[in-house]
Amino acid sequence: MTSRPLDLILVSTPIGGLGSGRGGGVELTLSSLLKGLVDRDHRVRLIAAEGSQLPEGCEAVELLTAQGLDQPSWQHLDGESPVLIPRAGLLPRFLDIALNVGAEADAVINFGYDWLPLWITPHVSQRLFHLISMGAVADVMRDQIEALASWDQQRLAFHTARQAADFRLPQPPRVVGNGFDLSRYQFRQEAGGPLGWAGRVAPEKGLEDAAAAAAALGEQLLVWGLREDPAYAEAVEAMVPTGTLQWRGFLPNAELQEELGRCRALINTPKWNEAYGNVVVEALACGVPVVAYDRGGPGELVQSGQTGFLVEPDNVSALSDALKRVPELDRADCRTWVEANATQEVFARRVEDWVLAGLSSLP
Ligand code: UDP
């Protein structure tokens, strides 16, 4: 498949095992990339928390596990927070393994959004690369990402240009997008379903605005995702008429796409600079148009007027107005966009190009 099979070590997020849902979008990124890289004949090893499940079709991937405590998630720390590493933390254990097996590998690709792997990169001979999964959510992380970019920007890739714009980079960013196994998403033509929302139930995801837009239309909103912040979930529920929010829980991907695909539209209302927005593309893959704030990754993924509508951020009445216009859209266009721009094949090829370019510029 490729001119040069690579020996790659992938390092998972030190927050939850692969398949737990605690790693958020990084879990899906990793799962589709593992499959995409194996299909392109690369040798792939994955370092992940004990209890991690390799996705179907990834039997050729060697799983190297470590036990330890999760890192605190940066998006829930104060922007001025120092770097915290718990006693017996997973992160240093991941690095122990990565530096050991990575000594003989072509490259180590880190998916955890953390300071230590970035900081260590210029100090070791192992070729560490980092797919940055969030914007600049904390000062110390921004500084470290910018410092590494000044040393060798080729070691960094981003999901979207909007995400990368959070950082001062010497060169234009390497944007790799994200990838999805389209065989797992069924296209659905029927357009008369309910409104949906999917994501971690946490303040940066802005569920309250989607709920308000649904309530303004006198409709229910189906909500899928981990209730990461139960107090926030209850506060949102109290803001809208009883019965507006239909909590569907965190579903495995197969069930999620089955239910999501029946929606008339997905509402996506991030309050932060969302790096990508997996649920946006998953909805599109099922033929579900997305009405989103023109902010962060979703603002780059939705083709307004074709695969959904982009509206002014934080403007709830613009959201409900756009939702009324969804019947103008052709659901087939949503699927077509994903096929051209966000399959696991396209994504694996972009990641491969990034790593090969980085390796070829090494002395
Ligand atoms: N997700 C899921 N089941 C659910 C709701 C969400 O598997 O019931 C997954 C969804 O498929 C997506 C991830 O959770 O891959 C959320 O990723 P996203 O990029 O939207 O947000 P993040 O959590 O990374 O901020």
- pLDDT tens track for 288-319: 999 999 999 999 999 999 999 999 999 999 99
Ligand 1 mean position to 324 CA, how many Å?
A: 26
Tell me which CATH code domain 7-179+343-360 carries.
3.40.50.2000
> Residue 3: what pLDDT?
65
Residue-wise pLDDT tens digits, 22-81:
887 899 899 999 999 999 999 999 999 999 999 989 999 999 999 999 999 998 899 999
Cβ atoms 215, 240 nearer than 8 A = yes
pTM (2 d.p.): 0.94
- Judged on CB neighbours under 10 Å (0-12, 13-18, 19+), 232 is middle
- On the question of a common fold for 7-179+343-360 and 182-341, the answer reads yes
Query: Is any ligand 1 atom within 6 A of the Cβ of residue 309?
Result: no
> Residue 327: what pLDDT?
97
The Cα 212–Cα 322 span in angstroms is 14
Mutate which of 12, 20, 28 for ligand 1? The one with the most ligand atoms within 8 Å of its CB, which is 28
Q: Using alpha carbons, list the distances in angstroms from residue 187 to 205, 285, 335.
A: 26, 6, 7
Exposure string (b/e) for 61-80, b if CB count within 10 Å is 16 or more?
bebbbbebebbbbbbebeee
3-state secondary structure of 142: helix
Looking at the CA of residue 27, tell me the nearest atom of ligand 1.
15
Q: How many helices (H) and strands (E) does the chain have?
A: 13, 12
Ligand 1 mean position to 207 CA, how many Å?
A: 14
Query: Is any ligand 1 atom within 6 A of the Cβ of residue 113?
Result: no
Alpha helices in the chain (DSSP H): 25-39, 90-102, 115-120, 139-152, 161-164, 207-216, 230-239, 253-260, 278-285, 296-301, 316-324, 331-341, 344-360
The Cα 63–Cα 38 span in angstroms is 13
Under DSSP, the state recorded for 12 is -
Ligand 1 mean position to 200 CA, how many Å?
A: 7
Tell me which CATH code domain 182-341 carries.
3.40.50.2000
Query: Is any ligand 1 atom within 6 A of the Cβ of residue 28?
Result: yes
Q: Where are the domains of the chain?
A: 7-179+343-360, 182-341
> Residue 75: what pLDDT?
83
Mean pLDDT by 10 residues, the chain (363 residues): 84 94 87 95 98 93 98 92 97 98 98 98 98 96 98 98 98 98 96 95 96 98 94 98 97 94 98 95 98 97 98 98 98 98 97 97 87
